[in-house]
Structure 1
Amino acid sequence: MDDLELPFADAGAASERTGAPRDAFLIALGERVRLLRSRSGLTRRALSIASDVSERHLANLEQGVGNASILVLRAVSKALGCELAELLGDETAASPEWLLIRDLLRGRGEDELRRGRLALAELYEEAGTRAARGGRIALIGLRGAGKSTLGALLAQDLGVDFVELNREIERVAGCGVQEIHGLLGANAYRRYERRALEETIQLYPDAVIAAPGGLVSDPANFNLLLTHCYTVWLKASPQEHMQRVLAQGDLRPMAASQEAMDDLKRILAGRSAFYGQADLVFDTGGKTQEAAFAELSDAVRVALGQVSKQSAMHMN
């Protein structure tokens, strides 16, 4: 909309004319916007429509050459389903305790941060959560990873229920996923996703759950999944994801195959670090469905045995 575009200075053109270096804050802001967009699975055009900010202005913002007004940033953060503070990169300055925790975590590697997260999860988890966690296996990953196909086979093999979380979201919302996004927006979708996940955890002590690919982009929902489920990332290359989507009969990516592939690669790159937080990473690349299922079943059974032993030790 015009009132959002007018305060948006074309800093890129000015920078090119003067030869002045780009501002470090704007560069970091642009990187966060691009990362959050990829993590949410939105193309720049989709974000433009959701935020009512032009693609040109979004491109400038992501490249760190657009000096956006606060109204533009507020519209973008709302469309991305995040707080404005998160977009600006200062979400951990809300209290002295946050600042002290942040200082303890600053500069630590991924392994140390993971141990810290698991320790906090254990500290705050509800009674019995650890013992119940191993009974639920949640499959995460992009569309085309095999969550539905392998998940149904795995549930049958283990003798437990199979739950498609997208179907539960539609049940809770009373309409389809596309309608939720199109009519109600990303924030409403996350609320329905949260309710569906909470109900699934409450109703199914033992199940295989196929999680939506974008669930990892919401920290609260992803933490809930990690705490109450043994998670498995079904990993594949972008090319394999695309091939499987086409094999399922969805020909929409063919309309702009290169653009679709580029978007898919960006989404996978933006989410990989979160998918990588899963308890088990299982690469389905180059495997037939039968081979992938056999290997996945073996890996999960071994892992569940180990989880059960850890739970027994914890309870003792």
Structure 2
Amino acid sequence: MKIALIGMMGSGKTKIGQLLAAHYGIDFLDLDHIIEQRVGLSISEIFAQKGETEFRKIEESTLAEVVGLGKPLVLACGGGVVLMPSNRELLESECITVWLDVPLRELARRLAGEKDSRPLLASSNWQETLKEIYDARHMLYKETASIRYVWKENCSIDTSIQRIAQLIDSKKAEFQRTS
């Protein structure tokens, strides 16, 4: 079983991914961390030195390689992974893809302290940029996801993990029949 987490930056893909992997007793991988290790630069440095287009090409090939691994895993994808049609097709066909849908207001709250380390938010009007990114990607997340988990205020991370795992378990049988 391959589980891929998609959603906006700040939606909790890494933390939730780690906990889901522990829940299922399978490996956790973070696509951005793999890219950083391979290229030898941080995501911010890749954007600055090579540009977003080159980053997306690296992301596309790394995603294909990771999804092609013949083992169960939970994969936290970068927020923009859905921008490439080939990535969306791969995620839809090979993974149970969980969209962590977090409202824009909550994303802005979470990202306020780390906006400088996010290459797409490195501007004085970062909240406006965040809204533009959110608006541009929302439908792509919706189209790609086999499961949509909507963040609930005052819901603990443990409760969120239990709910997401229930959704995955119910989707697992269906996914196995079609792949």
Q: Which of 221, 224, 239 does residue 90 from structure 2 map onto?
A: 224
**Structure 1 CA distance for aligned equivalents of residues 108 and 152 of structure 2:** 12
Aligned to 1:189, what secondary structure does the other structure show? helix
Give the corresponding residue for 1:66: none
Say if 1:251 and 1:139 are closer, same or farther in 2 by CA, change over 3 A.
closer
**Structure 1 CA distance for aligned equivalents of residues 71 and 4 of structure 2:** 12
Q: Which of 271, 287, 306 does residue 174 from structure 2 map onto?
A: 306
**Structure 2 CA distance for aligned equivalents of residues 296 and 169 of structure 1:** 26
Give the corresponding residue for 1:250: 114
Give the corresponding residue for 2:149: 282
**Count of residues in correspondence between the two structures:** 173
**Structure 2 CA distance for aligned equivalents of residues 169 and 251 of structure 1:** 20
TM-score when normalising by structure 2: 0.87
Letter in 1 for 2:147: L
* Highest RCO, 1 vs 2 (Cα 8 Å, sep ≥ 6): 2
Higher Rg = 1
Give the corresponding residue for 2:163: 295
Residue 285 of structure 1, CA deviation: 2.9
Q: Kindly indicate whether the alpha-carbon contact (under 8 Å) linking 2:7 and 2:13 is maintained by their aligned counterparts in 1.
A: yes
Q: Which of 148, 151, 158 does residue 17 from structure 2 map onto?
A: 151
Deviates more, 1:274-283 or 1:290-299: 290-299
Task: Flag structure 2 segments of 5+ consecutive residues without an equivalent.
Answer: none
Residue 171 of structure 1, CA deviation: 2.2
Q: Which of 178, 195, 208 does residue 74 from structure 2 map onto?
A: 208
**Structure 1 CA distance for aligned equivalents of residues 157 and 28 of structure 2:** 18
Letter in 1 for 2:137: R
Task: Flag structure 1 segments of 5+ consecutive residues without an equivalent.
Answer: 1-134
Letter in 1 for 2:105: Q
Give the corresponding residue for 1:29: none
Q: Deviations over 1:77-133 (max 9, x none)?
A: xxxxxxxxxxxxxxxxxxxxxxxxxxxxxxxxxxxxxxxxxxxxxxxxxxxxxxxxx
Residues 45-124 of structure 1: matches in 2 within 5 Å? none
**Structure 2 CA distance for aligned equivalents of residues 224 and 251 of structure 1:** 30
| Higher strand content, 1 or 2 | 2
